[in-house]
Amino acid sequence: MPRISRKDNSSPYLHVVVQGIGKESIFATNSLKSAYLDDLARFKDDYDVKIITYCIMSNHAHILLRTPSVEAVIAFMHRVNTRFAGWYNKVNDRVGYVFRNRYLSQPIFDDRYVINCLVYIHNNPVKVGLVQNAADYLFSGLRCYLDGEGIVDLDCAAELFDVSPQNLLAIMSEKSEHEDGLCPIWLDHKESPAARDAGIANILKNARCNLSVIKHDKEELCRIIDILRENNITLAEAARHLGISRSTIYNALTGK
């Protein structure tokens, strides 16, 4: 989808998407996702940016925000992405660009569509099979609404709708099957199989997984599986990447 010109944006609400260069899984692990959220939280007040919700996937992130001006969101995103890119390059001993071009943004001109976009963003992990229930994904703004804490600006969101957990769950239930049809064409960046595989490989590398060891050491296998599950990797994906059967994993986890 073509980028929306910043000059054409006269809406305070924006759906922003950032993506790793070459679809690289720059948010492959929980620690990387947490680091990006920390940067969003660190700078949002400096530019009076209000975060309505977000979802951090492995190779891209969605952010729904309210901004006082075009200039404010440009400065905010530049500062967030520059800080994260510098840290990412340092911890991975690499140089060069981290994000694919500049971020993409889509103004939302109707308050009703803000809620539909929120549902769309929350459902990203469900659509790619990471979780069956959007509320189970840890790096989504839905958790902020349900827990009553986090980087989402609940007071700002409350100007549009009832932000109680019960109401958010009702909204998700009502709109989840229809939000794409109720909205303008959203900025959509699906996670490619190659990018997801690269992300899983990176998690295993950071976990110092020894494939020859885990086939004979149930305790070590359980340690690796716990790490993969913490990063929303399914058992089917784990089995494929580890080169073992799902029954072997199940037996290890259940002590059989």
User: Do 226 and 176 fall within a single domain?
Assistant: no
Element (H, E) at 65: strand 60-66
Has residue 46 been placed in a domain?
yes
Has residue 79 been placed in a domain?
yes
pLDDT at residue 95, rounded to an integer: 78
Which residue's structure tokens are 């050491």?
217
Has residue 94 been placed in a domain?
yes
Mean pLDDT of the region 210-223: 87
- CATH assignment at residue 33: 3.30.70.1290
User: Do 105 and 167 fall within a single domain?
Assistant: yes
Q: Give the residue with greater pLDDT, 13 vs 105.
A: 13
The pTM (predicted TM-score) of the whole model is 0.70
Is the pLDDT at 213 greater than 90? The verdict is: no
Element (H, E) at 61: strand 60-66
Is the pLDDT at 173 greater than 80? The verdict is: yes
Structural domains in the chain (count):
2
pLDDT at residue 119, rounded to an integer: 92
On the CB side of 208, how many CA atoms lie within 13 Å of its CA? 1
Q: How far apart are CA 252 and CA 205, in angstroms?
A: 21
Has residue 83 been placed in a domain?
yes
pLDDT at residue 80, rounded to an integer: 94
Is the pLDDT at 256 greater than 50? The verdict is: yes
Q: Give the residue with greater pLDDT, 32 vs 102.
A: 32
How does residue 109 score in pLDDT terms, banded at 50, 70 and 90? confident
User: Do 73 and 156 fall within a single domain?
Assistant: yes
Q: Give the residue with greater pLDDT, 181 vs 25.
A: 25
Instruction: Share the mean pLDDT of the chain.
Output: 83
User: Do 105 and 230 fall within a single domain?
Assistant: no
Q: How far apart are CA 232 and CA 131, in angstroms?
A: 7
Tens digits of residue pLDDT in 7-44: 444 578 999 999 888 778 889 889 999 999 999 999 99
Q: Give the residue with greater pLDDT, 187 vs 130.
A: 130
pLDDT at residue 8, rounded to an integer: 44
Domain of residue 32, residue span: 6-190
Q: How far apart are CA 125 and CA 216, in angstroms?
A: 33
Is the pLDDT at 184 greater than 60? The verdict is: no
pLDDT at residue 75, rounded to an integer: 92
Q: How far is CA 154 from CA 105, 164, 185, 186, in A?
A: 22, 10, 26, 23
pLDDT at residue 232, rounded to an integer: 60
DSSP-derived secondary structure for 99-148: BSSSPEEEEE-SHHHHHHHHHHHHTHHHHTTS-SSGGG-TTBHHHHHHHT
On the CB side of 86, how many CA atoms lie within 13 Å of its CA? 6
User: Do 34 and 146 fall within a single domain?
Assistant: yes
The torsion defined by the Cα of 145, 146, 148 and 153, in degrees rounded to 10, comes to -10
pLDDT at residue 231, rounded to an integer: 63
pLDDT at residue 65, rounded to an integer: 95
